[in-house]
Amino acid sequence: MITAAKSLGNLNGALPQARGENGYNAVKLAEVMGLSLDELATILNRHVTGLRRNPESTKLQGELTDLVTLAHLMITLEGEAYLRWWLRAPIPELRYRTPLSLLLNADGKTENPADELLGRLNAVLSGEGQ
């Protein structure tokens, strides 16, 4: 399965402020996105202690890349402050839910909520719909 992150192109240089020595850093990414580490742990379905202990774990890199892609897209379109606002704003195209509520995946229906949200954004931006 091709993820939405891959379909948006190569983002190797995306969000250098979220990079560590061994890949994307969960703690730094949470700061960029304006999320608490508890929120990020919930999104990633991980324990917050593990994120603090090993924020650049190789096991996290795929999921972090999806979130980096999402953050990079929104920052490129509108800026970092917009990303932080957008995550917590009710969006009509999302039935007035917030993107953060979809990422938190409270209903547990989505295996990779960041990829699903990226897919929706990609569809809207490409004119394919919502």
Ramachandran quadrant class, 6 (left: phi over 0; alpha: psi -120 to 50; beta: rest) = alpha
Residue 20's DSSP bridge partners are 23
pLDDT at 11: 56
CA dist., res. 114 & res. 103, Å (int) = 6
**Arithmetic mean of pLDDT, 117-122:** 83
pLDDT at 26: 97
6 pLDDT band, cuts 50/70/90, is: very low
Concatenating the DSSP letter of every residue in 45-112 gives T--HHHHHH-TT-TTTHHHHHHHHHHHHHHHHHT-HHHHHHHHHS-BGGGTTB-HHHHHHTTT---S-
pLDDT at 1: 32
- Give the tens place of pLDDT for each residue, 85-115: 999 999 888 889 999 999 998 667 777 888 8
Concatenating the DSSP letter of every residue in 8-54 gives T---TTS-GGGEETTEE-HHHHHHHHT--HHHHHHHHT--HHHHHH-
Residues 117, 99 contacting (CB under 8 angstroms): yes
- Give the tens place of pLDDT for each residue, 39-74: 999 999 999 999 999 999 999 999 999 999 999 999
